[in-house]
Copies of this chain bind each other. A is one copy, B any other.
Amino acid sequence: MTTADNEAVQSGDKDRKFISALARGLDVLVCFMSSDRVLGNQEIAKRTGLPKSTVSRVTYTLTELGYLRYFMDQNKYCLGKTFIGLGYSMLAQMHIRRIARPLMQSLAEYTQASVNLGIRDRQNMVYIDTYRNSSTFTVQLDVGSQIPIATTSMGRAYLCALPEMERIKLMGQIRKSDEHSWPNIKLGIEQAMVDFKKKGFCYSLGEWREEVNAISVPLVASDNSEIMVFSCSGASFQLTSEMFEKDIGPRLQNLVGNVKTALSHLKV
């Protein structure tokens, strides 16, 4: 996650092509993505592992350029507006959203739960769309929300769809990030892979958040270039594993099938 992880740097002699000052600066920017929106230099230094003076210079530069915004009363920073434009200009080009929208909505309506579409970025799954009936309880995750890979159904479905080599690599990274709880995490993933092989979908039953159950089905683009995941999630008292198994799972698979064929027609 940090610059130090970069393979080229690890492997002995330095990579003449790699601009580490840029990497450090971006490391700082990424800090602001996680739940906290307002950070001071100290906090940033702790998260990135960069020395105080470096962080100070980076935040100075980013503020000067308008990528960070400075609150002088509490001298802390938050992200500048630029990233709104960047983020949305990306989503606009994702045709899949338009195609999937009506299907997701009607499934949300039917299940009275959330139906979500996510992709992977780094160590997280990111919602790029989510629909729910207005009466839905539980956590309200919005588009752009990030959830972990290892303990959520969405992340697990992603892992199941990933080519073996990459899956092993990613699981290694997950392991490193929390060596302690790895045994449990590993069990959860293995169970997911069994489920997926047998049924075509996988779960997270209270393993991410105590009170949340979810089921997911991955969608691998026809050219294998991208993996997206559809999930259905809700309060555990509302969505039982039997409902998933017999009703929602097949419907979700059906949804994915329909989206996939619609996509392939589009791309011709």
User: Which of B25, B60, B146 is the one whose CB lies under 8 Å from A17?
Assistant: B60
Number of interface residues of A (CB under 8 A): 53
Whether A33 is near chain B, meaning CB under 8 Å from some CB there, is: yes
Q: Give the residue name and chain of the B residue nearest to A119 (CB).
A: B81
Q: How far is the CA of A26 from the CA of B86 in the complex (A)?
A: 12
Whether A163 is near chain B, meaning CB under 8 Å from some CB there, is: no
Q: Do A83 and B79 have beta carbons less than 8 Å apart?
A: no
Whether A92 is near chain B, meaning CB under 8 Å from some CB there, is: yes
A24 contacts which chain B residues (CB < 8 A)?
Answer: 22
Q: How far is the CA of A19 from the CA of B63 in the complex (A)?
A: 11
Q: Do A86 and B21 have beta carbons less than 8 Å apart?
A: no
Chain B's nearest CB lies how many Å from the CB of A10?
A: 12
Q: How far is the CA of A13 from the CA of B254 in the complex (A)?
A: 65
Q: How far is the CA of A19 from the CA of B124 in the complex (A)?
A: 29
Interface centre among A6, A17, A62, A80, by most chain B C-beta atoms within 10 angstroms, is A17
A199 contacts which chain B residues (CB < 8 A)?
Answer: none
Q: Give the residue name and chain of the B residue nearest to A37 (CB).
A: B93
Chain B's nearest CB lies how many Å from the CB of A115?
A: 18
A18 contacts which chain B residues (CB < 8 A)?
Answer: 57, 60-61, 64
A60 contacts which chain B residues (CB < 8 A)?
Answer: 17-18
User: Which of B19, B62, B144 is the one whose CB lies under 8 Å from A92?
Assistant: B144
- Chain A, 124-146, CB within 8 A of any chain B CB: 124, 126, 128, 142-146
User: Which of B8, B22, B144 is the one whose CB lies under 8 Å from A91?
Assistant: B144
Whether A14 is near chain B, meaning CB under 8 Å from some CB there, is: no
Q: Do A37 and B81 have beta carbons less than 8 Å apart?
A: no
A18-B64, A64-B6 are known contacts. Are A26 and B23 too (CB-CB below 8 A)? no
Whether A121 is near chain B, meaning CB under 8 Å from some CB there, is: yes
Q: How far is the CA of A145 from the CA of B91 in the complex (A)?
A: 11
Whether A237 is near chain B, meaning CB under 8 Å from some CB there, is: no
Q: Do B33 and A25 have beta carbons less than 8 Å apart?
A: no
Q: Do A23 and B84 have beta carbons less than 8 Å apart?
A: no
Q: Do B81 and A126 have beta carbons less than 8 Å apart?
A: yes
A88 contacts which chain B residues (CB < 8 A)?
Answer: 87, 142-145
Q: How far is the CA of A19 from the CA of B86 in the complex (A)?
A: 22
23 contacts between A and B (CB under 8 A): A8-B64, A17-B60, A18-B64, A19-B25, A22-B22, A22-B58, A22-B62, A23-B65, A29-B86, A33-B82, A79-B86, A81-B120, A81-B121, A82-B121, A83-B87, A84-B87, A84-B119, A84-B126, A85-B87, A85-B121, A85-B144, A87-B87, A87-B90
Give the 3 A-B CB pairs with smallest separation, nearest first: A87-B87, A88-B144, A22-B25
